[in-house]
Amino acid sequence: MRLLLAACAALLVVTGLSVPATASPPRGHVVGAYYGNWFSGSKPISAIPSDTPITHLFYAFSTIEDGKCVLNAPTAAKDFADIVDLKRRKPSLRALISIGGWGAGGFSDAALTRESRRDFVASCVDRFFEQAPGVFDGVDVDWEFPVYGGPTEITDRPEDRRNATLLVREFRRQLGKRLVTAALPTGRLQTDGPYDPAKSFELEELGRELDFITLMTYDQGTGFSKVSTFNAPFQQVREDPLPRADKRWNSTVGAVDYYTRHNVPARKLVLGVPFYGRGFTVASEGPDHGLYQPVVNAFWVDGRDEVEALRKTPGWTEHWHPVAKSPWLYNAAERRFVSYENPRSIGLRADYAKRRGLLGTFMWELGHDDADHTLLTAMSAPFTR
């Protein structure tokens, strides 16, 4: 049988065809950290200690212009040097360039044809591996989102769903043994209403093609939400006013169930936790300290330091939900509600990832942690004990 398979593969090569590469099952574990290049200076990569539990550092973001990979961060050269130095101090660390992110256009055009995919990936290889040798060990694809659900001003097409898989295959072909990963979303409310990841991505195929998937189990309560809710609920909450069909997968447990039901191996999933908060001004306090109340407007809460400052400010009270397994803050005078995660809630999610047989955990975003890396410690503990 092995000889037959080898002969078939050789025949395909001779005839000019190729065998789609698939990733081998990952070994070890992943403690992933996304690093936004806008944090350079205030929280530089050089400040990451060499004994960090981080196994994979995702440098965000490269974007797409005219079908090519570009990186416009003014501190990129210093950041790249800092990554090389961190890898020297921690030889086991792997660094990936993350391409895309919310608001990044150009994917639909770049992935549209065989030629456009080839040229786009070649530009990424040139920019991040040939021009910057030794910095990166792979590519992380963060297309938000094929087909529908992304920012309304960004081009998307029905054929994006298939083309996203073909784009990943082209990265695999040109990158060889380097890592190819992707950040994929959970079910949630998006620009086009209730969002179903399987309408954007061929999940089962991507589960085979990718080395692993960073599952974005956050942003489940954002400016698209009609009521104040949790950014990353652990599991479905009965009182959540979302229709049952919409909220079934709109949680940490629900998202993992969704992906495994779509035949993505648990061992290919890395569970995401947010190091930032999401806030809402609400129309009324309601019976539960601002939770699930109509939203007047939404706002961003910039990480652990800001949350701790609010906790210490008179007028703010802290609460805990036993099902969502998340804390929240509420200011009755200002009618402001803030959903966030703390070491307790992050630890519960990391324990779940370990028990469920997932590959590991990751966060968005490293710069949102405090100086003592309190959240990172909680996130990594089950995998590093």
Question: For 96, how many CA atoms within 13 A lie in the half-sphere containing its CB?
Answer: 29
What was the pLDDT predicted at 22?
A: 58
- Interval 44-92: pLDDT, tens: 999 999 999 999 999 999 999 999 999 999 999 999 999 999 999 999 9
pLDDT at 30 > cutoff 50: yes
The pTM score is 0.93
Pair 318, 329: CB distance under 8 Å? yes
What was the pLDDT predicted at 72?
A: 92
Range of the domain at 359: 21-274+342-384
- Whether residue 122 lies inside any domain: the answer is yes
Pair 184, 213: CB distance under 8 Å? yes
Per the prediction, the chain carries an average pLDDT of 93
- Whether residue 47 lies inside any domain: the answer is yes
- Interval 190-237: pLDDT, tens: 999 999 999 999 999 999 999 999 999 999 999 999 999 999 999 999
Question: For 198, how many CA atoms within 13 A lie in the half-sphere containing its CB?
Answer: 10
- Whether residue 288 lies inside any domain: the answer is no
- Interval 329-377: pLDDT, tens: 999 999 999 999 999 999 999 999 999 999 999 999 999 999 999 999 9
- Interval 109-128: pLDDT, tens: 999 999 999 999 999 999 99
- Whether residue 291 lies inside any domain: the answer is no
- Whether residue 217 lies inside any domain: the answer is yes
First to last CA, the chain: 42
CA-based Rg of the chain, rounded to a whole angstrom? Answer: 21
Three-state secondary structure string covering 343-375: HHHHHHHHHHHHHHCCCEEEEECHHHCCCCCHH
- Whether residue 103 lies inside any domain: the answer is yes
pLDDT at 317 > cutoff 60: yes
- Interval 253-287: pLDDT, tens: 999 999 999 999 999 999 999 999 999 999 999 99
Pair 215, 256: CB distance under 8 Å? yes
Give the pLDDT band of residue 26 (cuts 50, 70, 90). low
What was the pLDDT predicted at 247?
A: 87
Distance in angstroms (rounded) separating the CA atoms of residues 368 and 36 = 10
Distance in angstroms (rounded) separating the CA atoms of residues 295 and 305 = 25
pLDDT at 248 > cutoff 90: no
* SS3 assignment, position 63: strand
- Whether residue 310 lies inside any domain: the answer is no
- Whether residue 32 lies inside any domain: the answer is yes
pLDDT at 15 > cutoff 80: no
Q: Into how many domains does the chain fold?
A: 1
pLDDT at 4 > cutoff 50: no
CB atoms within 10 A of CB 11: 10
pLDDT at 5 > cutoff 50: no
CATH of residue 82's domain is 3.20.20.80
